[in-house]
Amino acid sequence: MASVLVTGGAGFIGSHVVEALLARGDEVCILDSLDPFYAVASKEANLARIFERGDARVVRGDLRDASAVAEAAAGVDAVIHLAALAGVRPSIERPADYWDVNLLGTQRVLDAIAGRANVRFVFGSSSSVYGGRETVPFHEDDSVGQPVSPYAATKRAGELCCHAFHVLNGNPVSCLRFFTVYGPRQRPEMAIHKFTRMIENGEAVPMFGDGLSSRDYTYVDDIVAGVLAALDRCGEPAGFRIYNLGGDGTTTLADLVACVGKGLGKEPKIERLPDQPGDVPRTAADVSRAREELGFEPRTAVSEGVPRFVTWYRASRAAGEVE
């Protein structure tokens, strides 16, 4: 049994990770500011579900608050750092905020474990660091020096921050590049949640570009399995490691919209729009390193995961938990 700090533990991915840790007997502390980027009530509901499954210590505080972070990190064996300002498009509007929270906040969390070289550190990064690459699939050793959004730049900078900390302090560190995670509790502005809501309401779905842009959509349960494997093997085979965690397949925007419509039993209405700044044409993960070193195996295809999400969405909407 380990004692684990999960930053962002009230959020989408974080709450699932916390539940998985509690289910296997780990002690968990959650650090979360309950930022109003989306409804605070959703995060409070996530915490309520967590408390139904076990005890977790909660520190409500900002990543940039050194005292709050120190309180949360006291006595832990490991840190899973998932808290961040998320989203490509909002980062274009608020770049300074993203740098402040995502980079200074990451450094604050690292500072809280300085001098404790046995504490493992898992950092939630993003496939957005690969920028507008045309060559697929993306491998961890590919060049990532040309981000196309402030969000992507902060995530790459966070990886570099973690590497410097590892070199100077010796802590084992694993950085996980998540590829478009979806599933129950997904943030409401993310594509699958947004499309589901709009099609259910009979609204036109915005389709940017020709609909042929593609993403490697990864179901949250597969991501959680990868996070826990990275935690358990952090430091093996090297003290610092980067892993892609993806769904091992791609889906075009047009096919995704059709899949959501099929899951709802409704024909989507489409609003054609030009490409969005900061968007990349495609993402595709080479997960061979994670498969070999972590035993990672994505198991949930989009054709299975989207109907699961639709079922969750309709139940949550009926309960008044989502719009």
3-state SS of 257-273?
Answer: HHHHHHHHCCCCEEEEE
**Which pLDDT does position 128 carry in this prediction?**
96
Rounded mean pLDDT of 36-54? Answer: 93
Tokens of 310: 């639709």
273 domain residue, yes or no: no
Dump pLDDT digits (tens) for 56-87: 999 999 999 999 999 999 999 999 999 999 99
Looking at residue 165, what is its pLDDT? 98
In a domain, 305, yes or no: no
**Percentage of the chain surpassing pLDDT 70?**
100
Q: How many other β-carbons are positioned within 10 Å of the β-carbon of residue 105? A: 24
pLDDT level of residue 280 (50, 70, 90 thresholds) = confident
Residue of 266, 267, 271, 255 whose CA lies nearest to 303: 255
Measured distance CA(163)–CA(159) in Å, rounded: 6
CA 7/CA 73 separation, integer angstroms: 10
Q: Which of 132-136, 167-171, 197-201 has the lowest mean pLDDT?
A: 132-136
Give residue 32's pLDDT. Answer: 98
pLDDT at 237: 83
The residues that are catalytic are: 151
Q: Which band of pLDDT confidence, cut at 50, 70 and 90, is reported for residue 245?
A: very high
What mean pLDDT, rounded, does the chain reach? Answer: 96
CATH number, domain containing residue 27: 3.40.50.720
Residue 90 has pLDDT above 90, yes or no: yes
CA quadruple 178, 182, 185, 190: dihedral positive or negative? positive
Residue 232 located in a structural domain: yes
82 assigned to some structural domain: yes
Domain that holds residue 106: 3-182+219-247+284-298
pLDDT of residue 248: 79
Number of domains in the chain: 1
Is 90 exceeded by the pLDDT of residue 267?
A: yes
At residue 214, does pLDDT exceed 90? yes
Q: Is the entire prediction scored with pTM above 0.85?
A: yes
123 within some domain:
yes
